[in-house]
Amino acid sequence: MDHKSGGAEPVALAEFLSRVLGRVRPLPAIDLDLTQACGCVLAADVTAPGPLPAFDHATVDGYAVRMEDVAGASPERPVSLKVLGDVSASSWRPVRLIPGTCFAVAAGASLPSGTDAVIPLGWTDEGMAAVRVGQAPKRGNGLRRAGEERESGAVLAHNGQHVTPQLIALLAAAGVGDIVVRPTPRVVVIATGDELMDTGRVSQPGQLVDVNSHALTAAASEAGAHAFRVGICDDEPEALRAVLDDQTLRADLIITTGGTGTGPGDMVRRTFGRDRTVEFSTVAVYPSATIGFGSVGPEEVPITCLPGDPGAAMNAFEVLARPIILRLAGAEPVFRPSVKANLIETVQSPANYREFRPAHVAERRGGGYTVAPLPGGPYTLSGLAEATGLMVLGEKVTTAPAGSTVDVLLFDRHR
């Protein structure tokens, strides 16, 4: 297969990515409420406004005691203490322990001053006016001290960290109400081609189902973007420009598919080639073809133009569009995690091209990974659908023998 387009010398993938990603800047930071910020990336460190926990409190229902009063307690020789009162989680009046006494406390309640431990209910007879304690606790049992988890002013989360539900729980507990984040990138996906028809019907000669706009919208969403599928645009320059004019105000990135080649029907390249708003490059990556990148509209919204073949489009999204989305979001790294894996069978690869082949990755019991290429090659959508990763074969690799070690990009799939 000839991978070149119009005789152009292919550009190395690393050079192409460096050139493109060097032009992409993270979106301007904004203040967001904690709940609205989930999924975003922090644009500044978050520090604790006070100690966490904010005050000494009980972690179990039981009795707040002094160690010297219960040090000798045992089932055979229980210790009896006078119960001075109850302290609930909503109690705010300060109270103090005196020798030979205790307070009944609820989990989350502020502890009486002088408390050394909280005796769980199961270690007692659960008395009301007086309680018998049948087991001596260790100092600090059943309680947490103020600042035990984080001191006031300590860094709770770092710039560049993803905001997860678990992080939100920590920040909320520390008293943080809003944080500075990069907003979620808004991505618009447009498929071009007179031959395209929407899903729900089977392709036939002269008509092809629009796979790309559905698949790439889902891929952009999976990458963390707010993705919008515009749908199908006819092979008409004015129609494309009208769609773009309508979408630039709502987009941080526009993705088109189709029309990137040099043939008479490649409208996207001809349209953008006139004003040179998009630069098209034949990239030494397989499967793919020519990929375009530039900016459109007064706002100079980034646009990437991907091939029309679904397999090539999905591959081009992985190597270019997905990293752009993550760069806009302020995330690092922008590429999928990778592992080294032992190849199950020998594979061939085109010379001078970096191949990304759908594969199944498995963990070995003794550690490490194995990888098996899926049947049908990189253009087969059924292989992509079954893949748990992409096996990467370098430009100098023409044959990778069974047992050799290769790099594999891991898909985030819950199986």
**What's the CATH code, domain 57-144?**
2.170.190.11
Residues in the chain with pLDDT values less than 50:
1-6, 414-415
DSSP single-letter state for residue 27 = P
Provide the angle, in degrees to the nearest 10, between the axes of the packed helices 237-247 and 267-275. Answer: 70
pTM for this prediction: 0.86
Superfamily of domain 38-50+151-182: Molybdopterin biosynthesis moea protein, domain 2 (3.90.105.10)
| Residue type (1 letter), 194 | D
Whole-number pLDDT of residue 142 = 97
- For 240, phi then psi, to 5°, come to -65, -45
Look at residues 261, 320, 312, 264 and name the one whose alpha carbon lies nearest to residue 5.
261
State residue 169's pLDDT score. Answer: 97
Q: Of the CATH numbers 3.40.309.10, 3.40.980.10, 2.40.340.10, 3.40.1390.40, which one belongs to the domain with range 338-410?
A: 2.40.340.10
Fold of 13-27+183-328: Molybdenum Cofactor Biosythetic Enzyme; Chain A (3.40.980)
Residue 8: predicted pLDDT: 63
User: Tokens at residue 368, please?
Assistant: 């490490």
Q: Are 51 and 151 in contact (CB under 8 A)?
A: yes
pLDDT at 7: 52
Name the H helices within 202-266. Answer: 212-222, 237-247
Segments making up each domain of the chain, as ranges: 13-27+183-328, 38-50+151-182, 57-144, 338-410
For 153, residues 6+ apart whose C-beta sits below 8 A from its C-beta are: 47, 48
User: Whole-angstrom Cα distance, residue 16 to residue 407?
Assistant: 20
